[in-house]
Chain A
Amino acid sequence: MIIGAGLHGLATAYYLAANHGITNVAVLDKGYMGGGGSGRNTAILRSNYLTPEGVRFYDRSLKLYEDLAAELNYNVMFSRQGHLTLAHNDGALRTMRWRAEVNKVQGIDSEVIDPRQIKELVPHLDTSTDTRYPILGGLYHPPGGTIRHDAVVWGYARAADHLGVQVHQDTEVTGIDVTDGKVTAVRTTRGDIATGTVINCTAGWSTIISEMAGVEMPVTTSPLQAAVTEPVKPFLHTVVVSGTLHVYVSQTDRGELVFGASVDPFTSFSTRGSLAFAEGLAGNVLKLMPALSGMRLLRQWAGLCDMTPDYSPIMGPTGVDGFLVDVGWGTYGFKAGPVAGEAMADTVANGRVPEIIADFGLDRFSSGRLVGEKGAAAVGH
């Protein structure tokens, strides 16, 4: 039983069926498929993280994304345009050098480049030195890019469905029965289902589900807002990120510019956009690319992020037998969808935690072995 029919839930269901032949799987969702974070993120993929655990993990995801269109027979429009993170101060540049070296050791194409190279790569960036936040350098990660996030969700859903998995939309989980420390059933608005295994893949809402099973989690929910402009001719062929200015920009195949920001600075389950966000975003984008001042925003939206203290996910078993979590996906859940699904399916099928997610267990918060990714995950999309 998988709760949450987003990318993570559907990918887990697909790999359970495809890799392990387990097809008596149901995926429940209170809304519709891919209506949460899976359809609200800015669809950026990359693996240039800060810790070796993180880099290995996200790179496996990128490898799975590479072959996804063929595997699912669904055009996911993976555009490997390259990913550029800008440094506006010495601290950021130092972290980038650190990241580049960690990345290279793990065999990942990632290097620090100077403002002249940045200007060649993205001519529209203001690389002059007389701005409030001059660009000192950047971390360039050619394998990064963007993908069509809805297609990924639908591709997994269709492939899982063909293998016999059941997807129940509009089915809200209202309770989880635990007897003698073991999951026995899930109660929903459309009836009760007996099951011995439940995987919580509900991202922003995951604490509500975990609470039903009596599992405490170090997770808080905050909205993250994003926006999109009217379409224009292609001019931006790289994903551009600025941590200092809290913004990331990419151009879609249709020509719209997609902007994302950092999470709102307080916890909330509300997905309403705010004017403060649109104003702040526009100001920061113009600092990077002054030529965009005539462009118009088409719409803005928000998605819910389940933030953890160390900016790494929480995956694997919990204190309740049969209740597993795949949560704490904060602002980096979409790029990890395939590897998370693969690893969670492996965990359930073989009854043990595979090495690739061994460092991301819930128990790390009692052992103190955190996987600190804030330097590479916060505003790094």
Chain B
Amino acid sequence: MFKKILLAWDGSEHSVRAANKAIEIATCTKDSEVVVVYVKDTDKSKSEVLQNWNSIEITSPKEERIKHIDKLAKESNIHYKVELLHGEPGQAIVEYANKHKFDVVVVGSRGLNALQEMVLGSVSHKIAKRANCPVMIVK
């Protein structure tokens, strides 16, 4: 039923729960594929680089972020790939989902930063409002 599944990933607890649901959906349908989307927020890159200044050459933060989802997906034996997007998370995911015509978008109910959510509105809300396909918001 749902063959092309987009999973919004930010490494948070909520996104882990969303990932489990996405995997569940994927295992229900033969030949389904999960595209794990991780958005790099251009506004946060500076603080991220500063935070990791002394370990930049050792591990890239990108690898750290996707290690967890890599493990989850491998264990469950589904088809998946990881895509990196740039920009404001909500907008970037909506654009990507609409452009590549997904069957469903799976997203956690909240992200990493509660304060930002209050000011800017939550990513999941934005996606639910503006994506052209069913959106599953995982509590």
A and B form one complex: no
Interface positions of B (Cβ within 8 A of A): none
Chain A interface (Cβ < 8 Å from any Cβ of B)? none
